[in-house]
Structure 1
Amino acid sequence: MTNQNVILITGASSGMGYAATKLFAERGWQVFAGARRVEKIPQLTNVRALPLDVTDSASNQNFVTTAITEAGRIDVLLNNAGYGEFGPLEEVSMANVRKQLDTNLLGAAELAQFVLPTMRAQGSGRIINNSSIGGDLYSPLGGWYYVAKHALNTWSDVLDTEIRQFGLRSVVVAPGGTESSWGEIALKNVTKNLKADSPYQPMVDGTMQLMDRLTESSSATALDLAKVFYRAATDRLPHRRYYYSVADRMMSHFARVHAGAFHQVMNLAVKHFI
């Protein structure tokens, strides 16, 4: 059994997962980093790079079993893997819907089921779920992504109430705009999911302009969010929600508390760009 703190990180080959893998390893943690593209995971002394597809049960089980076998404990699971399956709700195929939910929600839930027996036996452990301010707000074309993040938030909150009795916690990190490839992938998925001669084409064009502007104004880097993950992992009394900025927190609060007003603002914004 290692004397180091042990963390499992999914989606470790790019963006926030890549940055978190480096940060935790540099701060002395033993990192089990999983991704489909293993060759892109940081190659560092404290990093054990493993193949991982969070939509595959056998892959998830092997990822957790390897960590337990080699390290003897699990202090933190960082459910970071995710992507945006964007497109009009009428036109996104159900196969892509299932892929979105499998990746952004069900994979995290299954990994939690695999790590919790070990955490309970230790009497300590923390599950950090990388969600989004999109867990509280929304925009056109991202319906299934927002559904997955809303669900992830609720799942995390319920899990937290269930596992506190064992000395464990489940918390959410909710990034806003972040410099990463996420937005580019989401926009590509809009085009992929759009049918020929789609009646939603004007909305897609306008919404993509809006998303481009929001992406340009992103202030948080992947490293910024990795530092938020580290706080969530090490705070003696962890919060239920973690945000990078006051602006992110305020946007989520506004969408929750003033849902009708937020809906009107969103409709006006889209109308302006169509």
Structure 2
Amino acid sequence: MTTPSDHTTPSDSSARPGQVADAKTTAVLITGTSSGIGRAAALRLARRSDLTVYATARRTESIADLAAAGARVLALDVTDEASMAAAVQEVEAAHGFVGALVNNAGYGAYGTVEETDLDAVRRQFETNVFGLARMAQLVLPGMRRAGRGRIVNVGSMGGRLVFPVGGYYHASKYAVEALTDALRFEAAPFGVRVSLVEPGLIRTEFATTAAGNLAGQAAPSGPYAALNQAADQQMAQGYRSPLMSARPEAVARVIDHAVTNSRPRTRYVVTPAAKVLVHTRRLIGGRAFDAILRTQFRAA
């Protein structure tokens, strides 16, 4: 059960005395830093003198500028076992263990349940779910030996409610919810704190990727053509709206809190709109929420 304090976004602040639980420099490994939330988190955390940040991406040339910002750059593909193991081993060789893992890599593959190619669904789960789980498996032995550590999983408000034409993406984020809840309990006796970050709409390349994926999956004259068009319009409007969306720096701020605060929260819901939607869905139930969606996803 969550409490209102679990969903309060911390205010922006620099490091304060006593904020970091560990006295020595902590190694932070962040997945998916080539753009958006991951890049913003790497830039923010790299400014801290008490952290050594490892920024990662499949292609290191896409994050070369993060080195100039103070981060160390590593190649890491969360769908490749050798790549994941090598990245963790490199951090452990330099620091003994990974002090904090930020599981950020992920993307949205959109389409109706009937029309979406299941191979595309499997690829999405490899990144959003299995890559996240495997990274946790790889860093946990070192954290247990050290008796401390942090794992921050970047999920989504989409792990707490579902919009049409996004069932498979939402399913991946619901899976992240379940894994994080289990891991938080399992790892606690070893001094490992686990937090879940649940962003709402964040103005990154995610929206463009999702819209392009929807266009590729949908049949232009198929039975769901009107719904797909309405979903595309809703997505575009939501990401453009300053009331519905936020910049990636808002998520980076709560990742900073989850990594460095001596008492990290179990969940961080990011953006006011996301908090309203999550609590509305919980309070009104499925039928009433469906009724709201019908007003929003009408055919153009």
In which range does the TM-score fall when normalised by the shorter chain?
over 0.9
Aligned length: 272
Aligned-partner Cα distance in 2 for 1:196–1:215: 23
CA displacement 1:78-130 (0-9 Å, x = unmatched): 00000000011111111101001111011000000000001111111111011
**Identity across matched positions, percent:** 37
Kept after mapping to 2: 8 A contact 1:228/1:243: no
In 2, Cα distance between equivalents of 1:266 and 1:197: 22
Are 1:270 and 2:297 counterparts?
yes
Listed as ranges, the gaps of 5+ residues in structure 1 are none
Pairing 1:88–2:112 present: yes
Q: Does 1:23 align with 2:44?
A: yes
Partner deviation per Cα, 1:3-59 (whole Å, 9 max, x = no partner): 421100000111110111111111122111111121121123642211111111111
Moved more, 254-263 or 187-196: 254-263
Contact 2:198 2:268 in 1 (8 A): yes
Contact 1:25–1:44 (CA under 8 A) maintained in structure 2: no
State the Cα deviation string for residues 131-185 of structure 1 (Å, max 9, x = none).
1111111111111110000110111001111111111121100111111010110
TM-score, normalised via structure 1 length: 0.94
Q: In the alignment, does 2:260 pair up with 1:216?
A: no
The Cα shift of 1:196 comes to 5.4
Q: Is the 8 A contact 1:255 1:262 kept in 2?
A: yes
Aligned counterparts of 2:207 and 2:121: Cα–Cα separation in 1: 18
Letter in 1 for 2:155: S
Runs of 4+ displaced beyond 3 Å: none
Distance 1:11 1:154 in 2: 21
- Contact 1:7–1:77 under 8 Å retained in 2: yes
Residue of structure 2 equivalent to 1:107: 131
Alignment partners' CA distance in 2, 1:94 and 1:21: 33
Work out which of the residue numbers 241, 253, 259 in structure 2 matches 1:233: 259
Instruction: Between 81-90 and 235-244, report the one with greater CA deviation.
Output: 235-244
Question: In the alignment, what sits opposite 1:186?
Answer: 210
Higher relative contact order by CA 8 Å / sep ≥ 6: 1 or 2? 2
Residue of structure 2 aligned with 1:37, choices 59, 62, 67: 59
1:73 paired residue among 97, 110, 114: 97
Q: How does 1:238-257 map to 2 (within 5 A)?
A: 238-257=264-283
